Amino acid sequence: MKTKVAVGIIGAGRIGKLHAEHLAFRIPQAKLVAVSDIYVQAAEQCAADFGIPHVYADHRAIMADPDIDAVVICSSTDTHAQLIEEAAQAGKDIFCEKPIDFDLERIDRALQAVDEAGVKLMVGFNRRFDPNFKRVREAVVAGQIGEPQLLHIISRDPAPPPLEYIKVSGGIFLDMTIHDFDMARYLIGSEVEEIYVAGGVLVDPAIGEVGDIDTAVITLRFENGVIGTIENSRQAVYGYDQRVEVFGSGGAVRTLNEYPNTALLYNSQNVQRDLPLNFFMERYIESYIIEMQTFIACVAEDRESPVSGRDGRIPVLMGYAARKSYEQGRPVKLTEIAAL
């Protein structure tokens, strides 16, 4: 077991800085030794904030450093697949933000490089590490609800992202629902065979004008017989609405939202409480810390990645099936898109 895992971060944007902070301050087993960003000022600021000794504009300096054990890829999506290949060839263990890529062929090539190099790859589906969803998975695995039969995922953002972002996001299924596709596979522990989508533009017509939708209800048929639904909306005015429910032959388990406090207010009009948390970095902060701790522990203890390359690939495939279902108004089998 390694006593300290030496890490280089590639990409010092919002999510890169988040991981950097956790690696620097919250995960004693990690040693953050380098950061790179094509905007080198961003990398420099990140280094200053978190005491990182080496700063580069070019990520290849990180790949070339033999003292670095692992890389954390937080650059823009279009660079992920290429960086995974380079890191694999350099023998680094890899954490990569989701999605690996929007192109299944590029994903396959990246995963092949990882396989051939025998390095670890963990994909950043942080929600698996949220204590609520983790507890649901534990209940399912422990048989606390018998055989799972129905799954319901509610996943609503507080507000749509900027239109400029939506245009390059890959569409709602690859940008937003991808997290829920991963959650569905994680909670049920079985693959989805068929997807049916009923969706529309109910939040903002401008989203429709750039070719996307903002509201979707997705029906999932799993190989093991479970039937699931995902409810997506780009805008829940009351905050981040993220709940799941699994129903089975022996019971059910469900989670509630997270709130900034537990205070209940009673007055002559009604009973009130403050709104749920509404920013993903607040709502999911604990999951990000546990996710990165898990990655570092996997590297240090040579354990298998709990979110594999396959786990990164299949939700993308599901995204394409969902889009096809929406466009054609019929259930679509995943095998119509590609082999699992």
Region 89-118 residues binding a second copy, contact defined as CB under 8 A: none
What's the CA gap between 135 and 139, in Å, rounded?
A: 6
State the maximum Cα–Cα separation within the chain, in Å, rounded to a whole number: 68
Which among 58-66, 164-172, 255-263, 288-296 is the span making contact with a second copy, rule CB under 8 A? Answer: 255-263
* Cα–Cα distance for residue pair 334/106, rounded to 1 Å: 18
Give the integer Cα–Cα distance in Å for 36 and 279.
27
285 binding a second copy? (CB under 8 A)? no
User: Applying CB under 8 A, does 266 fall inside the site for a second copy?
Assistant: yes
DSSP conformational letter for 337: T
**In the complex, minimum distance from the CB of residue 171 to a second copy, in angstroms, rounded to a whole number:** 18
Q: How far apart are CA 159 and CA 310, in angstroms?
A: 30
Query: Are 248 and 149 spatial neighbours (Cβ–Cβ below 8 Å)?
Result: yes
241 binds a second copy (CB under 8 A): yes
Min dist. Cβ of residue 20 to a second copy (A): 12
8 Å CB contact between 99 and 84: no
Contact 151, 248 (CB under 8 A): no
Query: Does the protein bind a second copy through residue 265 (CB under 8 A)?
Result: yes
Nearer of residues 91 and 251 to a second copy, judged by Cβ:
251
Kindly tell me which residue out of 45, 89, 169, 229 binds a second copy, with binding defined by CB under 8 A.
229
The contact mask relative to a second copy for 58-87 (x = CB under 8 A, - = no) is ------------------------------
Tell whether residue 274 is a contact of a second copy (CB under 8 A). Answer: yes
Q: Taking CB under 8 A as the rule, does residue 254 contact a second copy?
A: yes
Q: Contact, 107 vs 174, CB < 8 A? A: no
Q: Which of 4, 26, 167, 303 is close enough to bind a second copy by CB under 8 A?
A: 26
**Looking at the chain, how many residues does it have?**
340
**Closer residue to a second copy in complex, CB, 111/183:** 183
| Total chain residues near a second copy (CB under 8 A) | 75
